[in-house]
Chains A and B, each alone.
Chain A
């Protein structure tokens, strides 16, 4: 049976490695969670992102946005590296997510064949 005691132990483990965990200066991954995104598979895309973060021990912020009017290109995912423009990727499959994480989030190169839009900082 899972118990709250386990949570307390987990807290102690995690507390030791808590350094400067604030969201500034971290890569950001934004998932489209409008009705269109959810119907197109956004939940599975998010889970792939979380799996990759765990597998590769990444320190990134994962957040959500609503429908941005590109419903036919859902599921969508945006990547924003600190100080760089925000790139939107569309029509995603699980394997695409893995590629984006390795090539863009880790190595800093935009995956041009999957990118569908770019935005200057400030848009939400």
Chain B
């Protein structure tokens, strides 16, 4: 995948397939600590202990559960190529937590890319799921919480084009501020 945001879109599909209702994405960028970390938490059905060690192996994947595929192995491979790794914590009924970390300034680390596009895609296609996106860059941070947005919207669906456009503009502004546009 050319962008980390595409890996994010991909692994969140696992959460959706696992019937998660709440999905949280936390991105931590810290150039000083040479860390780029991506975490996805979900409250989906989780993975059995004996399968947990297998899910990053592309050849052990079982298609019939539809829980995992090539996605996690590709993401893990990308992290390992950049001096990092991918860790999985899960238990049946407990949801799943995926943590991938990269060396921030590793030459092979893909850019984050169009993270706005990833979130808009997820919200547009899965309006019933609550997404919480927390992005931290050094000392700056912001949160997008679709549950809050839905409260404001009342009966209006969150995947109306007009609302999606608002969310995109919100994300554009917040990301600009995050990376220094609004730094004190």
Contact = CB atoms under 8 A, between A and B. Distances in A.
Interface string A45-71: 011001001100000001110110000
A10 B169 CA distance: 14
B149 A38 contact: no
B166 A2 contact: yes
A62 B158 CA distance: 13
Interface in A1-49: 1-2, 4, 6-8, 10-11, 13-15, 18, 21, 31, 33-36, 38-39, 43-44, 46-47
A7 B149 contact: yes
A38 B152 contact: no
B9 interface: yes
Interface in B28-84: 63, 66, 69-71, 74
Interface string B137-163: 000000000001100111111011111
Given A2-B166, A38-B9, A18 B161 contact: no
Given A43-B6, A47-B117, A35 B70 contact: yes
A35 B17 CA distance: 12
A15 B170 contact: no
B155 A53 contact: no
A46 B1 contact: no
Interface of B: 1, 6, 9-10, 13, 17, 63, 66, 69-71, 74, 114, 117-118, 120-121, 124-126, 148-149, 152-157, 159-166, 169-170, 173-174
A35 B69 contact: yes
11 contacts: A2-B173, A4-B148, A7-B152, A11-B152, A11-B156, A14-B160, A14-B163, A33-B13, A43-B6, A44-B117, A67-B69
Given A7-B149, A34-B69, A39-B1, A18 B173 contact: no
Contacts of A66: 13, 17, 66
A34 B63 CA distance: 12
Nearest to A1: B173
B166 A10 contact: yes
